[in-house]
Each structure stands twice: as C-alpha cells, then as structure tokens.
Amino acid sequence: MATGSTPPSLPKRILRKGFRPLYPLYYRYLWGRTFPGHGALRRWVRAWEDLSTRGDAPQSAEAWDQQYRQGEWDLLQDTAEIPRYERLVELWRRHAGAGSLLDIGAGDAVLRPYLPTAARYLGVDLSAAAVERGQSRLQPGDRLLAADAERWQPDEALDAIVLNECVYYFEDPIETVERFRGELAAEGVLIVSMFETPRSQAIRRRLLEVLPALEQTVVPADRGGSWWMGVFAARGASSGEVSRIEAVDRGAAGGTATATVSASR
Ligand SMILES: C[S@@+](CC[C@H](N)C(=O)[O-])C[C@H]1O[C@@H](n2cnc3c(N)ncnc32)[C@H](O)[C@@H]1O
C-alpha cells in the first residue's frame, strides 16, 4: 500500500520493475531455505518489497497508523469480507467455541462482533490508531492493546489464538506463529487466515511442514483470489494426519473452489 508522496528515483524504478518477474520465483523456490548467501538475498528482497510498497510485507507502526487514520482499512467492513470472518468464526466454534480468544493483528477489532458476547476477547495490534478505533467494538471485560506481536507475549495460556490476515506482515512469520502456538492451553487451537499471494503461499507451505494442522479451508474472495485458513493444534498430530492434509492442500491451492479437510486429534 503506497504511503509516501515523493516519486522514486530512476535507479529505484528500474530495480523495482526488473525484479518483479523474479519475485514469485523467490517465494516459490527459495524463501525459508538455507543456502550460501540466503540471508543477503532475503534482505535484498525485503528492501525491494519496501520500495514496491507491496500489500503483503512488513510495514512500520507509523505506516499502519497513517493508513487507519486515512480510512484505508475501512474496506475490512465491506460485505465482501464477511465470508472470511464468518468462516473463521465457524472454525473457531468447531475447534474451540468458548473460553479465551487472542486476536493477533486485530486491527480495529472487526472480528469482535462476529463472536459471541460471552467469548473472552483479547486483541493486539501494532497500530495504536487501529486500537483506538477498535475500542468501540469491545464488550465489557475485553481488551485491545497496541503492541508488536513479534515481541509481545501474553500472560496467560489461551484457548484460541487467531492470526487473521497479519502473518505475512511479520519479519519472521514462522517463528512468530510457532511461538504463539506455545502460548496455547493444552487443548487450544491456533487459526491462521492469509489472502493467497506468493509470499503468503510460501509461508503456508512452510507452516504445514513444521506444524500439525487439524483442518484447512479455502474461501474464494469476490474480488478474485482466495483466503486460505489453517487450524493448528497445541499438541502434535501423527504424521499420517499431516500427510492427508497436505494432499488436500495441493488440490486446494490450484483452484478457487472451497475445500475443507479435517483430521481428528
Ligand atoms: C489487513 S489488517 C487485518 C486486521 C484484522 N486482523 C482483520 O482481519 O480485521 C493487518 C493488521 O496487522 C497489523 N500488524 C502488522 N504487523 C503487526 C505486528 N508486527 N504486530 C501486530 N500487528 C501487526 C496491522 O496493524 C493491521 O491492523
């Protein structure tokens, strides 16, 4: 999302255009892998992402604040977004359904009204502007805090942790998701939703390699593309369960149809 007003210099424009065709290849084949020079390449790609002001890469708290103040994220309240929130809540109901819910990257708490009043809701977001706006959506006893999720940690074990359209904004998405999984109560679940992009698909592939998934689903978006959602257990699943899920993942990633698979714990 564009945040600056100064036009980029010619070398920057050439760099921006030149790397564009290689960008999906980097996320398809190289991201998350270790090879000579991988750290330098990763930093270079991140610099390119900053130049390109892509919508699926990390941004500063100030950039988020500006976008919320300008109303750029009011789009999350559009009717086109409803199927995403509804599916996510359906997953939560099926796998947790009660108790405490931690909403990471909560924005202005658009998710909150989709949840039962009785849910114990705690939201965290990098943007103080979003957090300020979100207070009006809270129920008594709820909390919405401004903090960097990559550094913040909860002070209690959670029944559910939701990472709803925020994981691709983390510098270290896999480490952060794994760390939050460790903050779950013994029977807790972690639910990730990500709009499909080359970067988010690379994150999804890696997540499925390292974490036992209970269920995946793909929700088509009206504007084109789709949201992928995965439910992860606090405790391990057998390798048989994980491989069944990966087989469906390959099918779901190639098409736009809704696909869901479950594995019992
Ligand atoms: C696309 S919005 C999604 C908001 C909300 N989850 C929803 O779906 O309604 C992404 C949110 O992630 C937040 N975010 C980005 N990086 C973050 C970080 N490091 N820690 C916490 N929140 C972050 C942004 O401030 C923004 O509110």
The interaxial angle of helices 10-19 and 38-52, nearest 10 deg, is 110
Is the C-alpha dihedral spanning 126, 129, 131, 133 positive or negative?
negative
The confidence score (pLDDT) of residue 7 equals 65
CB 28 within 8 A of CB 202: yes
Which of 145, 152, 166 maximizes ligand 1 atoms within 8 Å of its Cβ, making it the mutation to test the pocket?
Answer: 166
The confidence score (pLDDT) of residue 19 equals 75
| Ligand 1, atom nearest to 170 Cα | 19
Strand 184-195 versus strand 120-125 pairing type: unpaired
Tokens for 175, please give them.
């480490």
Q: Which residues of the chain have pLDDT under 70?
A: 1-16, 236-265
pTM summary value:
0.85
Question: pLDDT tens digit string along 120-171?
Answer: 999 999 999 999 999 999 999 999 999 999 999 999 999 999 999 999 999 9
Q: Is residue 130 within 6 Å of ligand 1 at its C-beta?
A: yes
236 Cα to the center of ligand 1, angstroms: 28
176 Cα to the center of ligand 1, angstroms: 14
